[in-house]
Chain A
Amino acid sequence: MDGVAQLQKQLVDFTDSLFQEGFLDEQFNQLQQLQDESNPDFVVEVVSLFFEDSERLLNELAKALEQKTIDFRKVDAHVHQFKGSSSSIGAQRVQKVCIAFRNYCEEQNIEGCLKCLQQVKLEYSLVKNKLETLFKIEKQLIAAGGSIPT
């Protein structure tokens, strides 16, 4: 029993910190609300899809920005997608960088774009790590016989 309570506390504290540090926003809560008995792994599924999608987009972005003549419309399209998907799961910091990224695309500012690409890569890997840790704690909690506090 003690282990479960401890894990629960760990989960709650960790989740709180993610919100406080701005990695996640309210939308993540919304996703958790959609998880129920008929859809027990909803959050994990969506987040996994997000990871796949993001990695693909980051590759595309890197490729597009390596070109001799950069097609800014194409870059913008990718960033737009990235912005959409990150906002859909509540990855706030990633989303914020995407907004700045789009502005640079509009200005056709190569420097700015490259900088943003680095930033978004960084933010993405940070939030990926955090989420993976979160899921690990949840798994441990369930394995110990507890349940995820809502």
Chain B
Amino acid sequence: MGLIRTQEETGRHVRMLTHEIRSTLDRHTILKTTLVELGRTLALEECALWMPTRTGLELQLSYTLRQQNPVEYTVPIHLPVINQVFSSVRAVKISHSSPVARLRPLAVKYMPGEVVAIRVPLLHLSNFQINDWPEFPTKPYALMVLMLPSDSARQWHDHELELVEVVADQVAVALSHAAILEESMRARDLLMEQNVALDHARREAETAIRARNDFLAVMNHEMRTPMHAMIALSSLLQETKLTPEQRLMVETILRSSNLLDTLINDVLDLSRLEDGSLQLDVETFNLHAVFKEVLNLIKPVASVKKLMVTLNLAQELPVYAVGDEKRLMQTMLNVVGNAVKFSKEGSISIAAFVEKSESLRDSRAPDFFPVPSDNHFYLRVQVKDSGSGISPQDIPKIFTKFSQTQSLVTRNSGGSGLGLAISKRFVNLMGGHIWLESEGIGKGCTATFVVKLGIPGLSNESKFPFAPKVPANHGQTDFPGLKALVMDDSGVSRMVTEGLLVHLGCEVTTVSSSEECLRVVSHEHHVVFLDVCAPGIDGYELAANIREKFTRQLEKPLIIALTGDTTDKVTKENCARFGINGVLMKPVSVDKMRSTLSELWTNGFYTRPS
């Protein structure tokens, strides 16, 4: 416990003290350690720390060196001596009779030692929510009081005062670190609690959904069985000999059963649509066929009502598209069905177009911003009827579930009320929009919807199950096991194409006519090369036929058209329409064939990001 003799020693002591003080993050330890170390280094009789109270109006004796359990004296904060110390950055000598210096019992007869006091800056507490430290309008300080031993005739030396000042600062820093640590730990605990709660809530929600789905599945089945019986038996009953009244009754039973059946399906669909668990079944399908099917389904009903139904498919409408065929048909049936339902006479026209980009921004659908891209197109379907129409104020309610306006409901209409709501959800899922327009009651109605469909092509096909020998991004030099079929009516061309493919490692079969091609093509062929400009052979039709031969997506081969025509007969649109995946100009160079096969390989193996 030597006294400090020199400047260097001061420095050394400062460093040591700092190290001790900063070695802990616990507030109390910091403060206690400070006092202990100071007491030791300076051989103090007593050392104490006065902290501001919650109210900020008093200083309370919080820590002392010598006394184990200091009596909790308080002094008012605005004492002149305190103000003096607080307004100086330096250690200030104070009288030993000053209230803050009355730390020891006054049993001392001898000369009490000199006392200094220094302010210790505390954090700006408004930055942290530390609960038991009060908020202050001004910078708060604590007061450290240091007392030299009595009867020692020691005096405070400058370097000792310097030491005290440095330590006071260090204490402030250490305290701020401790405060930050406390706060971050508090925040972390809070977060953990919230996470646990969220997780719990999520699991509950999942359980609820699962339970709901299970319930629906069971109920669905349970409900369908009697429904089916009702419908089947009523139909059979209709075929028997009945009196007119009986027939009427049976027809009503049948109609109601059908309605109920539809309702059951709709409820199941809608509940899955509502919670977002419905996913579209996306596949390549024949778009034209869907329209024809809708027409076939609706014609009988329409003709009974003596309604004329016309279908108009635009020229550039692709034959094949990628999307959810079943739900697109459902939507169309719903829209067309409504048109038929609400028309007593006249005609229904169905028109389908490919939406051009300029007309995609429709003023009637202001929050709809379609973005056409290379792989997609927008299908617009418009169904016009000359039926009972809708009054303008009812139009907004049309798509809400279960709402039926009086003017729409006739005695025989029997609308389920859910159909349009579901159609709207389907259309939205397909990235589109649906709306109705009518000039008013009795003036007919036009229903329009726009949906986004994909163009069948490289990005949608993924058929190659095995990995190329060479890493794909270096370009395939070899395509072992790639089975190719070449259709060309010219012997020389056939031979050259075959030689080309064999050179690249493929297994090649050649045919010279469409019939042979259709006969020979199998699900084992990965790619078919067709000469599309051979006169007398309709390459496009052949391509369509090849695709139709295979029902499963994975079995369909990629089709590449070969053409020697320099005229642009073979366009991208034509190819898309008939399901042709690529075009090559004859004669094909080795490099071109290699890079084409390479591209197919990569696109078939990895799906191309859209």
CB pair A81–B490 under 8 Å, yes or no, is yes
Contacts of A87 in B (CB 8 A): 564, 586-587
Query: In the complex, are the beta carbons of B492 and A53 less than 8 A apart?
Result: yes
A77 CB to nearest chain B CB (Å):
5
Tell me the bound Cα distance from A85 to B531 in angstroms: 12
Contacts of A36 in B (CB 8 A): 503
Interface string of B322-354 (1 = CB under 8 A from A): 000000000000000000000000000000000
Expressed in whole angstroms, the Cα–Cα distance for A46 and B500 within the complex equals: 12
Is B586 within 8 A of A88, CB to CB? yes
Does A46 contact B495, Cβ atoms closer than 8 Å?
Answer: yes
Q: Quick one: which of B488-506 are within 8 Å of A by CB?
A: 489-493, 495-496, 499-500, 502-503
A27 & B499 in contact (Cβ 8 Å cutoff): no
Which residues of the partner chain A approach B490 to less than 8 Å between Cβ atoms?
53, 81, 84-85, 88
Using a Cβ–Cβ cut-off of 8 Å, how many residues does chain B contribute to the interface with A?
A: 21
Q: Does B589 have its Cβ within 8 Å of any Cβ on chain A?
A: yes
CB contact list, A74-98 vs B, under 8 A: 76-77, 80-81, 83-85, 87-90
Chain A contacts for B493, CB-based, 8 A: 84-85, 88
What is the bound-complex CA distance between A84 and B495, given in angstroms?
12
Q: DSSP majority for the A interface?
A: helix
Q: How far is the CA of A76 from the CA of B499 in the complex (A)?
A: 27
Which of B492, B502, B534, B589 makes the CB contact (< 8 A) with A49? B492
User: Does B80 make an interface contact (CB < 8 A)?
Assistant: no
B492–A80 contact, CB under 8 A?
no
Any B CB within 8 A of the CB of A14? no
Contact present for B587 and A27 (CB under 8 Å) = yes
Evaluate contact between A46 and B492: CB separation under 8 angstroms.
yes
Query: How distant is A57 from chain B, measured CB to nearest CB, in Å?
Result: 10
**A77-B536, A83-B564 known; A42+B492 contact, CB < 8 A:** no
Is there a chain B Cβ closer than 8 Å to A34's Cβ? yes
With contacts A30-B589, A77-B535 taken as known, whether A85 is within 8 angstroms of B500 at the C-beta atoms is no
User: A27 CA to B142 CA in the complex, in Å?
Assistant: 94
A-side interface residues, number (CB < 8 Å): 27
Q: Are A46 and B496 in contact (CB under 8 A)?
A: yes
Contacts of B495 in A (CB 8 A): 45-46, 49, 88
**A31 proximal to B (CB < 8 A):** yes
B interface footprint on A51-77 (CB within 8 Å = 1, 0 otherwise) = 001000000000000000000010011
B590 at the interface (CB under 8 A from A): yes
Interface-central residue, A27, A50, A53, A80, by most chain B CB under 10 Å: A80
- CA gap between A98 and B500 in the complex, in Å: 24
Q: Return chain A residues, CB-CB under 8 Å to B564.
A: 83-84, 87
- Using A77-B535, A83-B564 as known contacts, say yes or no to A34 and B499 having CB atoms under 8 A apart: yes
Indicate if the CB atoms of A89 and B502 lie closer than 8 Å.
Answer: no
Among residues 1 to 50 in chain A, which have CB atoms less than 8 Å away from a CB atom of chain B? 26-27, 30-31, 33-34, 36, 38-39, 42, 45-46, 49-50
Give Cα A33 to B489, complex, Å.
24
Contact A84 B535 (CB under 8 A): no
Rounded to whole Å, the gap between the CB of B212 and the closest CB of chain A is: 64
Q: Which residue in A33, A50, A76 is a CB contact (below 8 Å) of B492? A: A50
Q: Which residues of B contact A27 (CB under 8 A)?
A: 587, 589
Shortest beta-carbon distance, A64 to chain B, in Å?
Answer: 14
Assuming the contacts A77-B535, A77-B536, asked whether A84 and B492 have C-beta atoms less than 8 A apart, the reply is: yes
Is A85 touching B492 in the complex (CB atoms < 8 A)? yes
Once A80-B535, A88-B587 are accepted as A-B contacts, the answer to whether A34 and B491 lie under 8 Å apart by CB is: no
Residues 266-283 of B contacting A (Cβ, < 8 Å): none
> Does A33 lie within 8 Å of B496, measured CB to CB?
no
Chain B, 564-604, CB within 8 A of any chain A CB: 564, 586-587, 589-590
- Residue contact A53 to B491, C-beta cutoff 8 Å: yes
Residue among B489, B490, B500 with the highest chain A CB neighbour number at 10 A: B490
Contacts of A81 in B (CB 8 A): 489-490
Q: In the complex, what residues of A have CB within 8 A of residue B500's CB?
A: 30, 34
Chain B residues with CB under 8 A of A90? 587
Q: Say how far A63's CB is from chain B's closest CB, in angstroms.
A: 18
What residues make up the interface of B, taking CB atoms closer than 8 Å to A? 489-493, 495-496, 499-500, 502-503, 531, 533-536, 564, 586-587, 589-590
Give 29 CB contacts A-B under 8 Å.
A30-B500, A30-B587, A33-B590, A34-B496, A34-B502, A34-B590, A42-B499, A45-B495, A46-B496, A46-B499, A49-B491, A49-B492, A49-B495, A50-B492, A53-B490, A53-B491, A77-B535, A80-B535, A81-B489, A84-B490, A84-B492, A84-B493, A84-B531, A85-B490, A85-B493, A88-B495, A88-B587, A89-B492, A89-B496
Sample of 4 further A-B pairs with CB below 8 A, known A42-B499, A88-B490: A34-B496, A39-B502, A81-B490, A84-B531
